Structure 1
Amino acid sequence: MIIYPTIELMGGKCVSLTRGRLSEPSIWHVDPVETARGFAQAGASWMHVTDLDGVAGSDHDNGPLIEEIIRAAGIPVQLGGGFRARERVEQWIDKGAGRVVIGTAAIRDPSLVLELAKYHPDQIVLAIDIFQGQLMTHGWQEASAMRPEDVLSAFDGAPLAGVIVTDIDSDIMDGDGQIGVIAGLADHTRHPVIARGTVRGPDDVSRLNYVPGIAGTIIGRALFSRDVTLEDALKLARPDTGAKAEFI
């Protein structure tokens, strides 16, 4: 299982959100570029960056900072945050992003995402965000009438790098239940599934390692709050030949 240590940027600062609320960020007083270097030094093979100003459509431009992170990290960067146009996706691939994450555009214009995946195989990641069982779009603000399972099926033949599944309720609800939601969706796709929002401590990493279909996890808040160290998470995520857990 791949651990994706994560930086979420808002106004040039590292932040974390509670239940996807863009209006209530927790601010971490650390340097984003040095944090990225630290992820690589700890042994991470990938890292994830979310441009929350891009998600919100804010006027603040994190672009120069993200470029600096990509140059400084020394490991591939998976980048998300308001990617709804072909030009912006291709711009960031040209700037060195290892992967680009697309959520709302995949619901609004699936043909665009299918074409991007065709021309940039294994560099496009589909994002599925769930709140109380509903598929959410536009920065977790709007509920879609589509079922998450149907969206996954629509992209099953595309050469995606993976699918990120976020259960936005996971900040306050039972961890096993949230893993169950993500594991259930993993049954509907052939693509590697990356869980987001389920890790609060070392035990959560251990549990995810035994869930079939989950190939990685994105960890942000738990690292910044020091509820788990990246070194420990990487050790716990090493391949294991033991039995896999089942969720009903």
Structure 2
Amino acid sequence: MMIYPTMELQQGRCVTLDKGRLDAAMLWHVDPVETARSWAAAGAEWMHLTDFDAIEGRDTNAGLVEEIIRAAEIPVQLGGGMRSRETIEHWIDKGVGRVVIGTLAALDPELVKELAKRHPDQIVLSVDVWKGRVMTEGWRNSSAFTPEAFLDAYGDAPFAAVIVTDIDSDMEDVEAQLGLISGLAAKARTPVIASGVVRSVDDISRLAYIHNISGALAGRSLFRKTLDLGEALEVAKGAHEPVAQFQ
């Protein structure tokens, strides 16, 4: 299972949010570029980056995002504001490893299917769930889709992965989150990355044995230091190793 250390940017700074509230971000006094480098040094194979300013239509962080892509030494999975073909292909041309698409996937499924076919292994579908509906526009608007219907609408589209976030629970009720994520993972035809459920290495151990879960985002727990990245990577690496049978 892959652990994606996760960074969220707002006005050039690392932040974390409570249930997606962009007006109430918690600021972390760290250097984004050096933090990305430290994750690579700890053994991470990927990192996840979300640009909150881009979600609101601003390019405030564009230069910093480019610097992180160049300096991180590991592939970057980038989300935030991916609402046109031009934006998505701009970031692919800039060297991003994967692009995460949420709002556009609800508005123009045919375009997103085309992009997935055009850029195999580089398009990730984001499924953000609140009160049984897929949310768009940075968790602010409810779409007409249930998460199950959303996944069905994409059939065999060749996504690199599907990221599932249960906004209702958002770190408060991990049991409920695991129920929703495991149910969607069972239906998805693409490996699922769990978001918002990793508080400690114990949560990684539990996720590792859910069918079709290929990875997990870990952000807030790393910044709060309730999770050590090196330990998390080690637990994830060994979670599916075969266990010798007793004779």
Identify the TM-score tier after normalising by the shorter chain. over 0.9
Contact 1:13 / 1:28 at 8 angstroms: preserved in 2? yes
1:30-85 C-alpha deviation (Å, 9 max, x unpaired): 0000000001000000000000111122x352111011001111110000001000
- Measured in 1, the distance between the counterparts of 2:211 and 2:172 equals 21
How far has the Cα of 1:169 moved from its partner? 2.5
Asked if residue 38 in structure 1 is aligned to residue 19 in structure 2, the reply is: no
1:124-179 C-alpha deviation (Å, 9 max, x unpaired): 00000011222111110011111111111122311110100011133353212111
Instruction: State which drifts further: 148-157 or 94-103.
Output: 148-157
Contact 1:205 / 1:233 at 8 angstroms: preserved in 2? yes
- Measured in 2, the distance between the counterparts of 1:132 and 1:149 equals 13
How far has the Cα of 1:242 moved from its partner? 6.5
**1:231 alignment partner in structure 2:** 230
- Measured in 2, the distance between the counterparts of 1:60 and 1:157 equals 33
* Structure-1-length-normalised TM-score: 0.94
Structure 1, gaps ≥5 residues long:
244-248
Sequence identity of aligned pairs in percent?
57
Contact 1:135 / 1:144 at 8 angstroms: preserved in 2? yes
- Measured in 2, the distance between the counterparts of 1:145 and 1:79 equals 25
The residue type paired with residue 240 of structure 1 is: H
- Measured in 2, the distance between the counterparts of 1:205 and 1:170 equals 17
**1:138 alignment partner in structure 2:** 137
**2:240 alignment partner in structure 1:** 240
* Structure-2-length-normalised TM-score: 0.95
The residue type paired with residue 16 of structure 2 is: S
- Measured in 2, the distance between the counterparts of 1:47 and 1:75 equals 7
Contact 1:134 / 1:147 at 8 angstroms: preserved in 2? yes
- Measured in 1, the distance between the counterparts of 2:155 and 2:161 equals 10
Taking only aligned residues, the RMSD between alpha carbons, in angstroms, comes to 1.3
**1:182 alignment partner in structure 2:** 181
How far has the Cα of 1:189 moved from its partner? 1.2
**2:11 alignment partner in structure 1:** 11
**2:22 alignment partner in structure 1:** 22
- Measured in 2, the distance between the counterparts of 1:172 and 1:226 equals 15
Contact 1:170 / 1:198 at 8 angstroms: preserved in 2? no
Partner-residue secondary structure (3-state), 2:22: coil
**1:62 alignment partner in structure 2:** 61
Instruction: Provide the aligned length of Structure 1 versus Structure 2.
Output: 242
Asked if residue 76 in structure 1 is aligned to residue 75 in structure 2, the reply is: yes
- Measured in 2, the distance between the counterparts of 1:95 and 1:170 equals 35
Structure 2, gaps ≥5 residues long:
none
Instruction: State which drifts further: 144-153 or 212-221.
Output: 144-153
Contact 1:11 / 1:60 at 8 angstroms: preserved in 2? no
Partner-residue secondary structure (3-state), 1:171: coil
Contact 2:171 / 2:196 at 8 angstroms: preserved in 1? no
Within 5 Å, give how 1:103-114 maps onto structure 2.
Answer: 103-114=102-113
How far has the Cα of 1:23 moved from its partner? 1.0
- Measured in 2, the distance between the counterparts of 1:225 and 1:156 equals 38
- Measured in 1, the distance between the counterparts of 2:79 and 2:172 equals 25
The residue type paired with residue 82 of structure 2 is: F
Partner-residue secondary structure (3-state), 2:128: strand
**1:93 alignment partner in structure 2:** 92
Asked if residue 192 in structure 1 is aligned to residue 191 in structure 2, the reply is: yes
- Measured in 2, the distance between the counterparts of 1:91 and 1:160 equals 18
Asked if residue 163 in structure 1 is aligned to residue 187 in structure 2, the reply is: no
**2:114 alignment partner in structure 1:** 115
